[in-house]
A and B are shown apart, each in its own frame.
Chain A
Amino acid sequence: KAGVTQTPRYLIKTRGQQVTLSCSPISGHRSVSWYQQTPGQGLQFLFEYFSETQRNKGNFPGRFSGRQFSNSRSEMNVSTLELGDSALYLCASSPTGRSTEAFFGQGTRLTVV
């Protein structure tokens, strides 16, 4: 069974631009969550999608948004990029809508210059 796949693995963007990251969950998993990982703040929860609906949202500005498609694949969008958005963005998939093991992808390393 293929694991969680995130694309692209690396991105370099300029301040003010926008970016879209993609996450394909493990086959059969319906829940996808996104996290931002930085050296200073650790792993911070962004949002969670289940059956195409955003179910939980972390404490991030509205520039961060996401969506989930009918095949459970998810995208995350960041608009008007700031230098502080440079981070590793991880997505995790879970089989059900209740807390169980979350399987993480390798992440997308975003650098904003």
Chain B
Amino acid sequence: GENVEQHPSTLSVQEGDSAVIKCTYSDSASNYFPWYKQELGKRPQLIIDIRSNVGEKKDQRIAVTLNKTAKHFSLHITETQPEDSAVYFCAASIIQAGTALIFGKGTTLSVSS
């Protein structure tokens, strides 16, 4: 089955810096890669997703890149703000097989001002 590894497990940056979180997946059939943000005590919420027919997707300060050959995908956050502090999870799934998401173990991002 699918396995998703996520690095780093913790990341501390200064406000205004960029943050990068990387994930690798094992199942070449996976074709949907969402990123979820979970603030303390709250539910996970989707912040951006990418499908395998796209190499990069941007939404304001957030971008995701996908390298299908290497089975890598990454989350890039620019101009970080204190409110970006949260746990970020990457995930992988196969669109046609349903909505089962296999998650990485998460990255705790701390942005200090």
Residues of A at under 8 Å CB distance from B?
31, 33, 35, 41-45, 48, 50, 55-56, 58-59, 90, 92, 94, 97-102, 104-107
Contacts and interface: CB of A to CB of B under 8 A. Distances in A.
Contacts of B93: 99
Nearest to A58: B100
Contacts of A43: 44, 89, 91, 101, 103, 106
A94 B95 CA distance: 12
Interface string B16-37: 0000000000000000101000
A24 to B, nearest CB: 14
Contact of A100 (B99, B104, B105): B99
Interface residues of B, number: 25
17 contacts: A31-B98, A33-B99, A33-B101, A35-B101, A35-B103, A42-B106, A43-B89, A43-B103, A45-B101, A50-B99, A56-B100, A59-B1, A92-B101, A98-B98, A99-B98, A106-B42, A107-B43
Nearest to A41: B105
A56 B104 contact: no
B54 interface: no
The interface centre, meaning the residue of A43, A90, A97 with most chain B CB atoms within 10 A of its CB, is A43
Contacts, number: 71
B38 to A, nearest CB: 9
Contacts of B101: 33, 35, 43, 45, 92, 99, 102
Main SS class of interface, A: strand
A106 B41 CA distance: 9
Given A45-B100, A99-B95, A104 B43 contact: yes
B100 A101 contact: no
Given A42-B89, A107-B43, A98 B103 contact: no
